[in-house]
Structure 1
Amino acid sequence: MEGDLFSLVNLKDMEIIDANTGTKLGFIKDLKINCDEHRIMSIILPSQTSKMSLFSKNEDIEVPWKDIKKIGVDVILIDGGKLSDKV
């Protein structure tokens, strides 16, 4: 059981990769946590678009925890099928 545990710092240092396309999506920017159930609901990735201005909102990418397929030693594989319009 100890081998399946990861610290938040370790998770944030792992690169996120779409298992369907092999696309590198970056690193975890933030996590959404359900405090009542004590579990991670989703991971937040920085926007992949380079459009950023003083008055525009940067659209981060939210990946539900159920879409995470595998957490390896240094990468996290996700099912990014629903992300194609955001990336």
Structure 2
Amino acid sequence: MDLRSKEVINIKDGVRLGCVDDIEIDQKNAVILALVIYGRAKFFGLFGREDDLIIEWHNIEIIGEDTILVRFDGYTRVRTSKKHGWLDQFFKG
């Protein structure tokens, strides 16, 4: 089963969270721990991007052919992956 690029939708409010970009795996037990949705680009990526969204495996309700439905309460971006855009170098102090 290929999870990459599947659209993730929160069934609590119908919000499209993004597409699966990565997964977190417990290598010792060979199980998937969470789905990772990379943060959205800020101004076409020139100013980096927002933090990544981590959705734990127990929040997944249904995995379909093109879509993953999750029951997710919070929209807090929990994993920081500050990818700076090329314009950020001009604004460093």
What stretches of structure 1 move > 6 A for 4+ residues in a row? none
Give the Cα separation in 1 of the matches to 2:64 and 2:18: 15
Q: Aligned pair 1:66/2:58, yes or no?
A: yes
In structure 2, list runs of 5 or more residues that go unmatched. 78-93
1:30 to 22, 28, 38: 22
Task: From the CA coordinates, give the structure whose radius of gyration is larger.
Answer: 2
TM-score calculated relative to the size of structure 2: 0.69
Q: Per-residue deviation at 1:49?
A: 6.9
Give the Cα separation in 2 of the matches to 1:58 and 1:22: 21
Give the Cα separation in 1 of the matches to 2:65 and 2:21: 19
CA RMSD of aligned residues (A): 2.0
The count of corresponding residues between Structure 1 and Structure 2 is 75
Matches of residues 1-87 of structure 1 in structure 2 within 5 Å? 6=1, 10-48=2-40, 50=42, 53=47, 58-83=50-75, 85-86=76-77
TM-score calculated relative to the size of structure 1: 0.73
